[in-house]
Amino acid sequence: MDLLRHLRFFVAVAEEGHFGHAADRLGMTQPPLSQGVQRLENRLGVTLLTRGSRGVRLTTAGADLLPRARTLLAGADEFAEAARRQRENRGAVRIGVLPALGDRQVAGLVAALRQPDPGARTVIVSTAATVDLVDAVSGGRLDCAVVHHPALLGDLGTSPVIKVPRKLLVPADHPAARKPSVRALRGLACAAAPRAHGTAAFDLLVDTLRERGLDPEFLPAPGDRDALSAVAAGRAFALSTDPEVRAPGVAVVDAEDALALRVRVVWPDPSPQPEVCAALETALREQR
């Protein structure tokens, strides 16, 4: 007996309250559906449904077992979906990156990881906050990831800290666009990734700005699109790792080394794909 198939019969009838409607929903005729529910009841040794002139009702046992049947079916569907992803991703490299890395840089990392034989490797990229990337690597859902430094990394393997230079984005009509300095940014908010995305890295940015005499308000901007919008509106300044970022109403000026983005490559320890982690670290340094 196909238990999952017959559980689907039971759930369909219970939800529709009618064998005919359930049969239509399942794309089958009514007799085999009714027989399937009876086989399930015989196997379980309990009556799940009562049949009457007004339709079908759940028995006490049926009402108790219905949510359990739904859970089993949902678990089976999730299992099949996970198997499908494994099948489609066989041989793929799964990497995670921060939203703070620009689109051009991420594309460069992917291109580098596909070398020397582009047809032999598929690279799947996930973009998420540091806390989520660390969790995904720890749980085996990613092979490696580029995350903020500093951050809580647990037992993960890590590369040395890599400093990625950043540009300062300021409103084009702001004095800092003509004479850039951190102090000249007073009066503007700072568009940056929310603190929840990487608490220690956010606090480091705050401390760095305060050391230079600036204590701005912060606007949530996980990536360049959000940051550029806030800067173009004249509300904020921002930092970008994309050296070629351009947008109307936005001036791009050099930022001092202390405002560079600090990152690490992290992986499960031991790494199932050490060559990929090493290639990602090398590519990240070259993308500077």
Architecture of domain 166-259: 3-Layer(aba) Sandwich (3.40)
pLDDT band for position 269 (50/70/90)? confident
Distance, CA of 36 to CA of 8 (rounded, Å): 10
Predicted confidence (pLDDT) per residue in 224-249, tens digit: 888 999 999 999 999 999 888 889 99
Domain ranges for the chain: 3-88, 93-162+263-286, 166-259
Assign domain 3-88 to a CATH class.
mainly alpha
Handedness of CA 60, 62, 66, 72 (dihedral sign): positive
| Residue range 80-93: mean pLDDT, rounded | 66
Q: How far apart, in Å, are the Cα atoms of 220 and each of 191, 194, 227, 229, 269?
A: 6, 5, 8, 11, 33
pTM of the predicted structure, to 2 decimals: 0.65
Q: Is the model more confident about 55 or about 287?
A: 55
Distance, CA of 93 to CA of 124 (rounded, Å): 6
Specify which of 50-54, 116-120, 158-162 reaches the highest per-range mean pLDDT. Answer: 158-162
Statement: residue 16 has pLDDT above 80 = yes
Per CATH, 93-162+263-286 and 166-259 having the same topology is answered yes
Look up tokens 């007004």; give the residue: 54
Q: Is the model more confident about 30 or about 83?
A: 30
Tokens linked to 131: 């806390």
What's the first-to-final CA gap in the chain, in angstroms?
61
Cβ–Cβ < 8 Å for 112, 283: yes
Report how far Cα 67 is from the mean position of its chain's Cα atoms. 30
> Which fold does the domain 93-162+263-286 belong to in CATH?
D-Maltodextrin-Binding Protein; domain 2 (3.40.190)
182-191 CB burial, b ≥16 within 10 A, e <16: bebbeebbbb
Radius of gyration of the chain (CA): 28
Beta-carbon contacts of 22 under 8 Å, excluding residues fewer than 6 positions away, are: 9, 12, 13, 15, 16, 33
